Every structure is written in C-alpha cells, then in structure tokens.
Amino acid sequence: MNEQELIDSLTSLAPMLEEHAGESERLRKPVDSVMKAVEDTQAYRYFVPKKYGGFEFGLEGFMDIGVALGAADISTAWVVTFCMEHNWLIGLYNQQAQDHIFGQQPYLIAPGALAPRGKATKVEGGYRLSGHWEWGTGVMHADWVLVGALTDQDGPPEVCMYALPIADAKVVDTWQMSGMVGTGSNDIVVEDAFVPGYLRQNLTELRAGDSPGAQYHRTPTFRMPMLPVLGLTAASPAVGCAKQTVTRFRERLQERTVYGTQDKQSERALAQSRLAHLTVRAQTVETNLKCIAKDVANWGESGEICPDVERAELRVRIGHVVRESRNIVREVVEVSGAHAHNLSNPFGRALRDLETLSCHTVFDLDIATESYGRLLLGLPSNSPL
C-alpha cells in the first residue's frame, strides 16, 4: 500500500464518521464500528517504522487525513490522529522498547497522557509506577497507555514517558465535557505497576530530533522535532472542522429566511460578504497548516537538530492556526441564528468542540508567545519545548 492509497482509504470513511457524530457525542466516546473501520484501513501503521513492517509515511499526507476526518467528526478524528501519531512517539524510543512493542504487534493504540502526573521509583530491572492522569484520548479503544511521570534518579527527578499495557491501568469514567465529548478522553490510573527500564524514555531527549529512535532509524520521519508534530496532529482536525462549517454555512444561507421578512439570508449583502471572508479565511488556515507541516518535515529531512527558537516559533504558528479555526466557527454560529445552538445542530457541535479543543495546553498562545519572545531576546525559555 502506498501513502495516497492509505489516505484515500481513510478519508473515504468521512461519511461514516459524520453519520455517527451525534451518536459518538451521546456515548461520550467514538463509536466502536467506526473505530473498527478505521483500524481495518491499517491507519495505525502510518508512522510505524519500516524496520517493523510499518509504512513510515509523511507528515504532510497526515495533515490531509486529519483535515478530512475533522470535517466529518472532529472528536473521532482527534482520537484517530492522536493514536496514529503515538506510534511515531514509540518510534522515538530506544531500540529495545521498539523491538518489544512492534516485535509482538504491528502497531499500538494508546493514549498519550504525558503531563508528569505520576511518580516512578527505580527498582531492579525497571521502575514502579503510580499515578492518575487526565486527558486520556484514545483510552476507550486502547491496548497500551503512554503516561508521564517524575522519576527519582541520583540527581534531580526526570520527566519521563512510560509505555505499559492497558491491562496494567484502570480507566476512570470522568469525561463530562461541553465539547469534544465524543473523544471519551477519560482518566487513567496506574497503581504500583512494574515497567521494564527500556519502556521508559526521558522526554527531554525527544524534543529536538535527536532522540534514541532518530539515531536508531536514521530516517527523516524520526528526526522531526516532537512538540510541533504533536501540535499539528491536534490542529489538523480543527482546520477540517472550520472548513466544513463554512461549507455548511454557504448551504444554510440559501435556505434560511431572515426573521420578519420573506428574504433568504443569501440575498443580504452582509451575509454574502461574510461568506466571502470566511471562505478565504478557511482556505488560508489550511494553507498555513500545510506550510507548517512542510517546515517540520524539512527539519527531519535536513538531519539537523531543530533549535529551541525554531520549535518555539512553530508552536506559536500552530497556536494561531487553531485560534483562527475556532474564530471562523464562532463567526458562523454568531450569524446563523439561535437554531445553531441546538444540541443536534452541527454548527453548535462544531463550536462546542472548537472552544474545548483550543484550550489544549499546546495551543496556549500566552505561554507559547512568552517563550518565543524570551528566546528572540536571548533569554532562556521558561516552558518546555
């Protein structure tokens, strides 16, 4: 299977995602049959290293998938793209970890709750890990979990990522949200689980494109800097949602009658002007997304380490893509009447989802711009990159 064939196979599922979007929101998790259809396309092999029988396809094509699925159902798209990309994260691990995981299965489906909400203590052969993590995107269909923990060492504690089978974790039903309801991103609890030492990875070593996996594979895919890849993974469904909302707005204008008149909203000059602005803004935000993805991929191709200031700039650019996607949807809802806020209306769902998604920590522009500004002034960054 080549890259375009997999992209086409996945994007052909968009009508199925759209059909089940309301059900996913009611269930508070992706619909099982939809997730099975996604898995059957071999989606989760997209970033698996070729050494383990994976495809190791490109970041720019991955954006096409996120945009197309995000247009259909942003919640399910968010889960799918995250779980695809988490196989890329495992590709940054050391060889022994990859031999262990990819040697026994072609891919994993795992949430990546990397905030250091756990604590790990070194023991013979590995670590004892305990913790409670929020934001477990993908956990409702997972076979592994990836979690962050402070790790006791001889020196200062290290922030590390641990990979462990889902059987070693508990899922706690906490996902009661106003938006992104269909992701089912419930909490993860681990109580005194043993994790072999090779399934631990210091997160600092993954940031800049010189991870153990980058040195092992020596391919552009695994030389890309981590945070921009994570940010793009999360941003692409938002862009798709914004694009589709504008498309629906154009259709709605030709149906909606302005209150108190017999006029179609499409006949009003202001509505026509708004549609023109929104259409161009949606096109521009997708162009920006793909431009950032190309820039990140180029760092992988270059073989050079991506400097702090470049990673900070990429984070700010991604944050602006998501903010603009949210603002596009806000404006559509603002001019679409009260019906847009009906729980079954896709405009209302899009707004709820984008308002929630844009609060993800990676898109926090206050933090991102402060960090980037400090680096531009020759000061050290005060946030992780």
Question: Any idea where the domains of the chain sit in the sequence?
Answer: 3-105, 112-204, 224-376
**Per-block mean pLDDT, blocks of 10 residues, the chain (385 long):** 97 98 97 98 98 97 98 98 98 97 97 95 96 98 98 83 98 98 98 98 90 96 96 98 97 77 79 95 98 98 94 97 98 91 93 97 95 96 76
In whole angstroms, what is the distance from residue 265 CA to residue 312 CA? 43
pLDDT at 253 (0 to 100): 85
Fold of 112-204: Butyryl-CoA Dehydrogenase, subunit A; domain 2 (2.40.110)
Contact in structure between 182 and 21 (CB atoms under 8 Å): yes
Q: What is the CATH number of domain 224-376?
A: 1.20.140.10
pLDDT at 385 (0 to 100): 63
pLDDT at 266 (0 to 100): 77
pLDDT at 322 (0 to 100): 98
Residues 6+ apart with CB under 8 A from 73: 17, 18, 20, 21, 24, 182
Phi and psi (nearest 5°) for 118?
-115, 175
Residue 263: C-alpha distances to residues 2, 176, 212, 271, 334 (Å) = 50, 41, 64, 12, 19
pLDDT at 67 (0 to 100): 98
Q: Between vectors from CA 282 to CA 281 and to CA 284, what angle results, nearest 5°?
A: 65
Contact in structure between 98 and 130 (CB atoms under 8 Å): no
Q: Between vectors from CA 85 to CA 63 and to CA 101, what angle results, nearest 5°?
A: 155
Contact in structure between 168 and 193 (CB atoms under 8 Å): yes
In whole angstroms, what is the distance from residue 106 CA to residue 118 CA? 28
Residue 115: C-alpha distances to residues 107, 290, 360 (Å) = 23, 27, 12
SS3 127: strand
In whole angstroms, what is the distance from residue 336 CA to residue 263 CA? 15
CATH for the 3-105 domain, from 3.30.300.10, 3.40.50.970, 1.10.8.60, 1.10.540.10: 1.10.540.10
Give the count of beta carbons closer than 10 Å to the beta carbon of residue 298: 14
Give the count of beta carbons closer than 10 Å to the beta carbon of residue 224: 24
Contact in structure between 108 and 143 (CB atoms under 8 Å): yes
Longest Cα–Cα distance in the chain: 78
pLDDT at 381 (0 to 100): 85
Nearest to 288 by CA among 328, 333, 331, 348: 328
Residues 6+ apart with CB under 8 A from 167: none
Q: Encoding tokens for residue 92? A: 């940054």
Paired sense of beta strands 112-123 and 144-151, if any: parallel
